[in-house]
Amino acid sequence: MSVKDLCQEIEQRRQQALERKASPYPRNQPVASDLG
């Protein structure tokens, strides 16, 4: 697995986490903790 693959996987997981988080608590602006 290359670094690029790893970055893509992290990005996908982060996106999924944000979508799950955004469903019950919609926010216009992501907070610093969301961005890691």
- The 10s digit of each residue's pLDDT in 2-32 is 999 999 999 999 988 877 766 565 555 666 5
Model pTM? 0.49
Of 16 and 33, more confident: 16
d(CA 31, CA 28): 10
First to last CA, the chain: 22
Listed by start position, the domains of the chain span 3-35
Burial class (CB in 10 A: 0-12, 13-18, 19+), 19: exposed
